[in-house]
Amino acid sequence: MLPGVTTDPKLVSELARKKEDENLEFRRFLSAHHDDSHLLHVIGSEVEAQVDCTSCAACCRETRVQVSTEEVARIAGFLKIRPAEAARMYTEPDPADHTRMLTQPAGACVFLDRNLCMIYEVRPDACHRFPYLTTEESCLGSRLESIWRRAWFCPIIYNTIEEWKHRVGFHTRGHS
């Protein structure tokens, strides 16, 4: 069990924003010391085991999820409707690349009810892999640049980065 894991989404957001300069310094530290990301995945697994995502669900509010034709079909099967109907009701075109994205009425994923995913058993792969810390597979979401950008809203990522700093002996030069 890791000490001091911060799980309150509002506090994580506040702390992460205060540590933006420190995190930039840490990224430079990692680059200069050629630290590989294996330790990140180990720590990510430890932190993920301590955080109940249903107490937060910020990822369902703060990220947009691209869905494939196969994922729409899987969701449709789960909902017992036709894939075309699922696409029409729950997705919208992504103007950047003509793929489909889950809709976000009221600022959250269409399938989020309070903090619970209504299609959890068949959720898209991007949702299943989030926050991309426990696997060493290579994908856009697992790139360190993507992970850093999500530290302000994800307690798992925030706490993983803080523990990573501790384990590699990073000491800030005056940032709080």
pLDDT in tens, 87-136: 999 999 988 888 999 999 999 999 999 999 999 999 999 999 888 886 65
Distance CA 12, CA 136 (A): 25
In which band, very low, low, confident or very high, does the pLDDT at 7 lie, cut at 50, 70 and 90? confident
Give the H or E element holding residue 102: strand 100-102
User: CB of 22 within 8 A of CB of 172?
Assistant: yes
Q: What are phi and psi of 66, to 5 degrees?
A: -80, 140
CA angle 53, 61, 14 (to 5 degrees): 75
- Non-local (6+) Cβ contacts of 166 within 8 A are none
31-77: pLDDT as tens digits: 888 766 788 889 999 999 999 999 999 999 999 999 999 999 999 99
Q: Report the Cα 13 to chain-centroid distance in Å.
A: 13
Tell me how far apart the alpha carbons of residues 93 and 54 are, in angstroms, rounded to a whole number: 28
CA dist 82 and 40 (Å) reads 41
Dist CA 56 CA 134 (whole Å): 19
pTM attached to this predicted model: 0.86
